[in-house]
Amino acid sequence: MSESPHPRADELSWLSTRELMALLQAEDRVAVDAVGEHLDRVAEAVDAIATRLRAGGHLHYFGAGTSGRLAALDAVECAPTFGLEPGVVIAHDAGDGEAEDDRRRGAGEAREAALQRDDAVVGVSASGRTGYVLAAVGEARAAGSLVVGLSCAPGSPLGAASDVAIEVETGAEVIAGSTRLKAGTVQKVVLNMLSTGVFIRLGRTYRGRMVDVVASNDKLRARAAAIVADLTGASAAAVQRALAESGGSAKLAILMLRCGLAAGEARSRLSSVGGDLAGALGEGGR
């Protein structure tokens, strides 16, 4: 991550608002495109994290400042999107100011998390030098957890401390040093890729649908019904019956309707294949 002034920094006050918006969009596009050069490392991280979670581990994010908030956002979105049990994805966010440098806090919160060998830890730091994150990662390594480092600083201490280092260089920010801009865009994009890739690999989706969606409100109940109807071709009445009998689980309802199973039978079959709907339906995987 470069903290040097942007090549057009001296022009910013004189650009029209439309020109300024075009510059910001163009720079975000640069950031998104830069991720493409690191897909091998992102894929490596996805497979490694999925292996740990498949064995019963948990996914922990450690970050501070903008990085911590982005990690917390990704973590909180995982549960309703993928139907996760509480505690599968946990974000540890130090906040702003001196807390970012607080190594004692980072180490302490990592120890309080009781990290295990089957856990995966993603340290998120635009600079790759955040004390809180580095201390947490150090504790994770001592516990034998998988460590993934996400930064915008090639050759950073975070990368050196990681099993898988994802270091996406973004170049100068339009506002020098503001990691909520291109660096923030990169971190949001990569975090989306990591969590989405992991839970696709763990069978928490089916054919690009949110079959594990938590139907906790009218919008999501309608979404669950639409997914079941789409994947089974069943009537609206049959869909609603199956959802009622499955306790609102779109995944179970699909299996029931596709295979003519009662809810208990469908639940047992799904459990026997680790919750993977494709496996329960007898469909081949990768």
Q: How many CB atoms lie within 10 A of CB 4?
A: 11
Contact 270, 260 (CB under 8 A): no
Full strand arrangement of the beta sheet holding 146-151: 89-93, 59-63, 120-124, 146-151, 164-167
What angle is formed at CA 160 by the lines to CA 125 and CA 154, rounded to 5 degrees? 60
Q: Which residues are part of the catalytic machinery?
A: 77, 100
- Go through the chain and tell me how many residues it has: 286
Residues 6 or more apart whose CB falls under 8 angstroms from that of 180 comprise 66
How far apart are alpha carbons 152 and 177 in whole angstroms?
A: 12
Residues 6 or more apart whose CB falls under 8 angstroms from that of 192 comprise 74
Nearest to 223 by CA among 246, 194, 243: 243
